[in-house]
Amino acid sequence: MDTQCLFRSSEGAFAFYSITGGFMHLQTKAIHTGVDKDTAYNSVITPIYQTSTFRFADVGKTLGYDYTRTSNPTRKALEENIASLEGGVGAVAVATGMAAIATVLHLFKSGDHIICTHDCYGGTDRILRTYQEQFNLQISYVNLHDPAALSAAVRPNTRGVWIETPSNPLLNILDIEALSRIAHEHKALAIVDNTFLSPVNQRPFELGADIVVHSTTKYLNGHSDVVGGAVVVNDPALAERIQYLCNALGQGASPFDSWLVLRGIKTLGPRMRLHEQNAARVAEFLSSHPNVRKVHYPGLPAHPHHALARRQQFGFGGMVSFELNGGLEEVHHVLRTVKLFALAESLGGVESLIDHPMSMTHASMDPQLRAQAGITEGLIRLSVGLEDIEDLIEDLRCALAPAKAGDAAPR
């Protein structure tokens, strides 16, 4: 039992912030952890230290910072905050989610083998292929829904297992605990992309993962006004290595972007709950719609991995995808007719978005891999926002009604 005090110390900073649970619950940590960086004026909100460099206090002596590529107090505040939410010991905040993924891939050497879930994020697939071609990283894409498939794919040089759950855009769920266990049996790192659920709904370290990556562009920031990423680790040596790589590669997030994400995270808990509440209603509406063939939402009891999602997650999240009856013409009609759902890539913001994975987010994916993953032309993905649910459902109801002659000129 921790005996340290949760309350503010005489220095104005938190005497104790819990990384492993401790006294503070997640939403309290989201608001308080790491934010007290201003010892000069005790500003309640973390200042934006918009500076590239820091004056030395004396020859060979700094006040903890020397150059912003290496470290910056505003970025540090965000890093401490995200590390505490995930229950890690360290984090780096980087320029984008892809910067986070690229930084992690630099842990590996030429000739190392990485096993990646077959329906990963398109950008993950793109960079893995690039590293395979240019740096001889060996990549296997494997359907990891049956953890035994991982055991079968392991080679003597397997060093990493790339897990993304729920998957994008089909919301398949992978068993993080079982996959991490198998990875560890082979001395490979279990890496989880936790972008879709955020630490509010899923905490991979508690299930055995070694590294968590985020696109903070999505739910962590939550307001569609910044791109960012984070790598979180739960081992001090790995934390040091990731910090080294972040500095060496120059991946660090800017002070202003860090500040925006830190600001967004303050409302993470309530936002995630409302995203989920709205998504559940949308999934329910779509499930009973005659023009919808199939709905993918882990919160639906009919979802093939519903039981696993219940066991492993603290919530089902705000993403819903569905397959429309009909072909591209019907899909285009829906995409052009919705008014509140903006036709746009990305996800996790307060405003609802609609995406056609095949022609948008997943267009760069290898067509064979895409087909194998089950991403069809009739598939539509929704990022359900925080608007009033009645308005969102009405928007979908109008768009899903069969097109009549003369309807819906393109906007």
Cβ 253 to ligand PLP shortest distance, Å = 11
Q: Which residues are catalytic?
A: 69, 121, 193, 218
DSSP string covering 150-216, please? HHHH--TTEEEEEEESS-TTT-----HHHHHHHHHHTT-EEEEE-TTTHHHH--GGGGT-SEEEEET
Cβ 237 to ligand PLP shortest distance, Å = 25
User: Which residue, 145 or 218, is less far from ligand PLP as judged by CB?
Assistant: 218
Cβ 198 to ligand PLP shortest distance, Å = 11
Q: How far is CA 80 from CA 64, 71, 166, 243, 265, in A?
A: 15, 12, 25, 13, 12
Cβ 225 to ligand PLP shortest distance, Å = 13
Tokens at 93, concatenated: 């905040």
Q: Are the beta carbons of 110 and 136 closer than 8 angstroms?
A: yes
Q: CA Rg, the chain, in Å?
A: 22
Dihedral sign, Cα of residue 175, residue 181, residue 184, residue 186: negative
Q: How far is CA 28 from CA 203, 221, 266, 404, in A?
A: 16, 17, 9, 51
Q: How far is CA 111 from CA 81, 128, 154, 155, 400, in A?
A: 35, 13, 14, 11, 50
Verify cis geometry, omega within 30 degrees of 0, for the bond prior to 166.
yes
Instruction: Report the interface residues with ligand PLP, using CB under 6 A.
Output: 96-98, 121, 123, 164, 168, 193, 195-196, 215, 217-218, 227, 229
User: Which residue, 38 or 345, is less far from ligand PLP as judged by CB?
Assistant: 345
Taking the C-alpha atoms of residue 11 and residue 28, their distance in angstroms, rounded to an integer, is 20
Taking the C-alpha atoms of residue 50 and residue 52, their distance in angstroms, rounded to an integer, is 7
Query: Which residue in the shown chain puts its C-beta closest to ligand PLP?
Result: 97
Residue type, 258: S
- Which residue is listed with tokens 């830190």? 262
User: Which residue, 141 or 196, is less far from ligand PLP as judged by CB?
Assistant: 196
Cβ 349 to ligand PLP shortest distance, Å = 12
Cβ 123 to ligand PLP shortest distance, Å = 5
Cβ 124 to ligand PLP shortest distance, Å = 6
User: Which residue, 86 or 164, is less far from ligand PLP as judged by CB?
Assistant: 164
Tokens at 195, concatenated: 């972008």
Cβ 398 to ligand PLP shortest distance, Å = 28
Closest by alpha carbon to 155, among 131, 183, 174, 128?
A: 183
Taking the C-alpha atoms of residue 263 and residue 151, their distance in angstroms, rounded to an integer, is 42
User: Which residue, 126 or 241, is less far from ligand PLP as judged by CB?
Assistant: 126
User: Which residue, 54 or 204, is less far from ligand PLP as judged by CB?
Assistant: 204
Taking the C-alpha atoms of residue 179 and residue 191, their distance in angstroms, rounded to an integer, is 10
Q: Are the beta carbons of 121 and 196 closer than 8 angstroms?
A: no
User: Which residue, 17 or 121, is less far from ligand PLP as judged by CB?
Assistant: 121
Number of neighbouring beta carbons within 10 Å of residue 47: 15
